[in-house]
Amino acid sequence: MCVRHFLPVLAALIVCWVPFARADESVGLDDEYRGSTKKGEITERHQKLTSDAVKIALKAGQRVELSVKVSGDDRAVGIILWNADGTPIASSALPKRLGFGGGEIKLSALNKGNVGDAQHLVTLSEKAARVVIGEVPGTATYTIRVYSDIGGAYTLTTKNLSKVRDVDTIERELRAAKKRVEELENELKEARRKKESR
């Protein structure tokens, strides 16, 4: 008797829960993803970081831009793209070391086990970070990891820079750029005129 009533209740709970669950924590190209950095394994190291991971499928040779903006005052952020083997492919800024002058280190010296320790500090930027991957090394699913000094919301935007634009799009962008240059030239003339009249 209980089993007969339990199964429909269980099915109803699953149906209600599915729309609220994130499918697979992934983002596509030319897409936007909203997430939140949380405390994790990195908080016990020298650099106290929060992070979040998102999967992305990329193809060999693609040119890709990843950018992230965080919400909240006094937050800093960084991005590292990792391959499936745990090797960093690209980052918004080179990691640094605390000792020996605090200089930058090679990205290849970084691994998931040493991120945030005294010799492998993640370099963070105020409020926003961006990385352009000139050429993706291979077709695979990569992990974008967003790092922040304070946990909270972020927006990740991905762009496929490999797409070939059509003639109309290029002409429209060129007209807009020429118009903007003309506006800046007029603004400069006006500023010079005001400066000379003082």
Looking at residue 15, its pLDDT comes to 37
Structural domain includes residue 59: yes
Phi, psi angles (nearest 5°) of residue 25: 50, 50
Helix (H, G, I), strand (E, B) or coil at 81: strand
The whole-model pTM stands at 0.69
CA pseudo-torsion sign 139, 113, 118, 71: positive
The per-residue pLDDT for range 72-97, each reduced to its tens digit, is: 999 999 999 999 999 999 999 888 88
Residue 44: what pLDDT? 58
Task: Match 């050429």 to its residue by tokens.
Answer: 135
Q: Is there a domain that residue 57 lies in?
A: yes
| Contact in structure between 143 and 13 (CB atoms under 8 Å) | no
Number of domains composing the chain? 1
Residue span of the structural domain in which 86 resides: 25-166
Q: Token pair for residue 111?
A: 């691994």
The model's pLDDT over 149-165, given as tens digits with 9 standing for 90+, comes to 999 999 999 999 987 77
Give the number of other CB atoms < 10 A from CB of residue 177: 10
Specify if 84 maps to a domain.
Answer: yes
- Considering the chain, what percentage of its residues have pLDDT values greater than 70? 83
Domain CATH code at residue 70: 2.60.120.380
The answer to whether position 8 is within a domain reads no
Report whether pLDDT(56) > 90.
yes
What pLDDT score was predicted for residue 172? 86
Residue 133 lies in a domain: yes
Q: Would you say residue 86 lies in a domain? A: yes
Question: At 96, phi and psi to the nearest 5?
Answer: -125, 165
Does pLDDT of 187 surpass 70?
A: yes
pLDDT range class, residue 100, cuts 50, 70, 90: low
Alpha carbon dihedral 66, 72, 76, 80, in 10-degree steps, equals -30
Q: Could you tell me if residue 80 is inside a domain?
A: yes
Report the pLDDT value the prediction gives residue 20, as an integer from 0 to 100.
Answer: 35
Residues 147 and 142: their CA atoms lie apart, in Å, by 16
Q: Higher pLDDT residue, 62 or 166? A: 62
Which residues lie closer than 8 Å to 155 by C-beta, 6 or more apart? 32, 33, 34, 68, 69, 71
Question: Which tokens belong to 97?
Answer: 């070391």
- Once rounded to an integer, what is the mean pLDDT over residues 11-28? 51
> What is the average pLDDT value for the chain, to the nearest integer?
83
Q: Is residue 103, in this structure, part of any structural domain at all?
A: yes
Q: Give the mean model confidence (pLDDT) for residues 48-77.
A: 94
Q: Is 64 exposed, middle or buried (0-12, 13-18, 19+ CB in 10 A)?
A: buried
